[in-house]
Structure 1
Amino acid sequence: MNKYFASAYQFGILGGILSIASFGLLAFLQPDPTNLNLVFGYLITPISIFLALKFFKDYTNNGYISFAEGMSVGFVTYMLIALVSGLGIWIILVLFPDLFQVILDSKLNVLSENRQTIIDQLGESSFQNTLENIREMALMDVALSDSLWKIIPGLFFTIIISIILRKNPN
């Protein structure tokens, strides 16, 4: 079983570490690193999945990969990216509570700047509900959000890449 997931472990953990590094670097460059870190996640996740599947196909499975194998290796890869990234971001926020407060203040500022647009489109109750949810946001919410935004696109990219790389023995 380990032979199936060796490349997934390597590239999943590497992708998670790169995501943590991105979050840390972006935290020093701007007040709220969460949005740009999502963009970085949209780049690193498909690259990690592609490399895991390619390495599995070329170096473990003699140049062949079925759709099911691709989905399995891809699943382990993007789940590891999400877990490592989420855990790392949570640790960063625990170690630097001021960063969490800056993220929270930034989200409240964006909400207040767009207050009228939100009220016009969704109503006053929706705005108040969003405001209350942001005020109740916890450290784990930031980490969990980052993880979920690695998993959801990860599934999509895994399907596409598995189809592209699929090659079954004759």
Structure 2
Amino acid sequence: MKSPLLKISIRYGLVAGALTLVLMVALYYIGTHPLMIAPYLDFRILLFGIFIFFALKEVRDYYQNGELYFWQGMIGAGIVVLLADVIASIGLTIFGSIEKEFMTSYVTEMTKYLGTFSKEDVERIGKEVFERNLKQLPTTNISVLAVTYFVQGISIGFFVSIILSVILRRQPKN
């Protein structure tokens, strides 16, 4: 592997994925189900931000003479996010398969949460859609949750990547 962008992004992505998995398991055992956290409050926003920032900064400052193009930032950040999400999703699938109470507690907490919706909220979503989702909830499996977690992570990571790629980019001065 000759490309420092690739090598460094992979290293940071692996560490970010492992840390994401550890934080998910820790949240579960301290009493907060990690899949019940709203995506806009998700710890991955901060986690991805930190790991992307340091990965891109290292590439820019130590390997590219202080230069980093936007596209390089997006590629490096994309690798970090993709690896972290793959590791976290696979780890979530394994953890959910081992810890049988994980799915049960998710279904229970989500059912309680959906029960707090007002009539206006249900009408806004659509009564049929709401009721269908509520009925399907008990049949949800860990694979569905892992895919959902992966997609949310990619979405979160994409926006964080854009912001940090713009902040950290530096082009050569002519």
Amino acid at match of 1:126: V
Structure 2: give runs of 5+ residues left out of the alignment: none
Matched, 1:3 2:4: yes
Q: C-alpha distance in 1, partners of 2:127/2:167?
A: 47
User: Where do 1:119-130 residues align within 5 Å?
Assistant: 119-130=122-133
Amino acid at match of 1:165: L
Aligned residues: percent identity?
22
- Asked if 2 retains the 8 angstrom alpha-carbon contact of 1:12 and 1:48, the reply is yes
- Asked if 2 retains the 8 angstrom alpha-carbon contact of 1:22 and 1:37, the reply is no
User: Where do 1:79-94 residues align within 5 Å?
Assistant: 79-94=82-97
- Range moving further from structure 2, 9-18 or 30-39: 30-39
1:63, CA displacement in angstroms? 1.6
User: Where do 1:42-53 residues align within 5 Å?
Assistant: 42-53=45-56
1:31, CA displacement in angstroms? 5.2
- Name the Cα RMSD after superposition: 1.9
TM-score by length of 1: 0.90
Q: C-alpha distance in 2, partners of 1:14/1:93?
A: 21
TM-score by length of 2: 0.88
Q: SS of the residue aligned with 2:140?
A: coil
- Range moving further from structure 2, 115-124 or 126-135: 115-124
Q: Give the corresponding residue for 2:168.
A: 165
Amino acid at match of 1:3: P
Call closer, same or farther: CA 1:111–1:154 in 2, change over 3 Å.
same
1:136, CA displacement in angstroms? 2.9
Q: SS of the residue aligned with 2:66?
A: coil
Matched, 1:22 2:10: no
1:117, CA displacement in angstroms? 4.5
- Asked if 2 retains the 8 angstrom alpha-carbon contact of 1:45 and 1:150, the reply is no
Q: C-alpha distance in 2, partners of 1:15/1:74?
A: 12
Q: SS of the residue aligned with 1:62?
A: coil
Q: Give the corresponding residue for 2:141.
A: 138
1:85, CA displacement in angstroms? 0.9
Q: Give the corresponding residue for 1:77.
A: 80
Q: Give the corresponding residue for 2:116.
A: 113
- Range moving further from structure 2, 144-153 or 128-137: 128-137
- Range moving further from structure 2, 121-130 or 89-98: 121-130
Q: C-alpha distance in 2, partners of 1:149/1:40?
A: 12
Amino acid at match of 1:34: L
